[in-house]
């Protein structure tokens, strides 16, 4: 519910900014900023919270998979009636999330893309769990850095070297990571591992 509330809030801010752009201009934008301050929730803080939410679940799931299972793919289970040929391994799922984070958010921060980031599956030279985990964590650190650049004035602008507005790049990055988190959860459960986010909370 908190996640939905933040996205509804951000969508409302965007709609008001769009309306003000055609009329009240800077005065309208200032009003939006003032309203956000009154609710103690800025665009920057709202997006940073979203990144923290998905980061916690994705990183937790990745850490839960043992290193000797990191290259697991359902294709090896030979499940009757299944078709997992060519699907990403668990390791590549993690690398894919990180690579996409870099592609989406680097234009907002001006950071250079990591070496070997040729496609959506991340650098092939990252083999160990430790290397892949660091790549993942660094990509989310970039997301927090990108969120810190957001303002009511620039959220609908398209950064240089990007085809998307900041709003789209940020929200799509979060949605994309959650999509692949769902696949990671299935891979964990196929190996008898309950995802950390689904475990009973300690009293």
Is the pLDDT at 33 greater than 70, yes or no?
Answer: no
Residue of 29 and 84 predicted with greater confidence:
84
Q: Return the percentage of the chain with pLDDT > 70, whole number.
A: 80
Domain ranges of the chain: 2-197
Q: Output the pLDDT for position 34.
A: 60
Which distant-in-sequence residues (6+ apart) come within 8 Å of 147 by Cβ?
44, 47, 48, 51, 170
What whole-number distance in Å separates Cα of residue 58 and Cα of residue 188? 12
2-197 carries CATH number 1.20.120.450: yes
CA–CA distance, 47 with 25 (Å, rounded to integer): 24
What number of CA atoms fall less than 13 Å from residue 119's CA on the CB side? Answer: 4
Q: What is the pTM of this model?
A: 0.80
Query: Mean pLDDT for the chain?
Result: 86
The crossing angle, in degrees rounded to 10, of helices 90-109 and 43-64 is 160
């Amino acid at each position: 519910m908190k996640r939905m509330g933040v996205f509804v809030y951000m969508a409302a801010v965007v709609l008001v900014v769009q309306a003000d752009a055609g009329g009240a201009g800077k005065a309208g934008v200032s009003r939006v900023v003032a309203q956000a301050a009154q609710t103690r929730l800025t665009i920057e803080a709202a997006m940073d919270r979203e990144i923290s939410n998905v980061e916690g679940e994705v990183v937790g799931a990745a850490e839960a998979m043992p290193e000797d299972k990191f290259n697991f793919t359902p294709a090896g289970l030979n499940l009757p009636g299944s078709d997992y040929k060519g699907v990403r391994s668990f390791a590549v799922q993690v690398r894919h999330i990180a690579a996409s984070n870099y592609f989406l958010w680097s234009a907002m921060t001006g950071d250079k893309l990591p070496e070997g980031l040729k496609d959506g599956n991340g650098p092939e030279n990252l083999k160990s769990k430790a290397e892949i985990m660091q790549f993942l964590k660094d990509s989310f650190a970039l997301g927090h850095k990108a969120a810190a650049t957001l303002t009511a004035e620039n959220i609908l602008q398209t950064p240089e070297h990007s085809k998307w507005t900041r709003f789209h790049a940020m929200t799509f990055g979060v949605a994309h990571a959650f999509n692949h988190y769902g696949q990671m959860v299935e891979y964990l459960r196929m190996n008898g591992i309950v995802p950390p986010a689904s475990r009973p909370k300690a009293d």
